[in-house]
Amino acid sequence: MKNKIYKSVEGDLDLFRITRLYPAVVVDMQGEVAEMSLEWEELYGDKVKIVHYVLVFDFTPLNEDVKERTTLIFTSKEALIKEIQEVAKYLD
């Protein structure tokens, strides 16, 4: 199987190596910054300060302690969704 290279603002990402790919929202809850799911944001987003949205490309092999990730940051949910749609074209 040939490599699927996605050209992101953070550099070329080999999608063939991904172990997890997920979107999230980064929120500030009284000084504590946390990464939450988009589903969580839909339920509770109006109660916290949204810092930004992220798309996480996790290349960490299973059962490995050292994390190998690339995170793309977005100022809006719409921009995140647009990027997800672009990445999806490479995964078909």
**19-38: pLDDT as tens digits:** 999 999 999 988 999 999 99
- Which alpha helices (DSSP H) does the chain contain, by range? 38-44, 77-91
Q: Is 14 inside a domain boundary?
A: no
**26 in any annotated domain:** yes
> Do the domain assignments include residue 6?
no
Say if residues 6 and 15 touch (Cβ distance below 8 Å).
Answer: yes
Q: What stretch of H or E contains 91?
A: helix 77-91
Domain count for the chain, please give it. 1
Examine the pLDDT at 2 and tell me if it is beyond 70.
no
The tens digit of pLDDT for each residue in 35-81 reads: 999 999 999 989 899 999 999 999 998 888 888 999 999 999 999 99
Residue 10 lies in a domain: no
Range(s) of the domain holding residue 53: 19-91
Whether residue 2 lies inside any domain: the answer is no
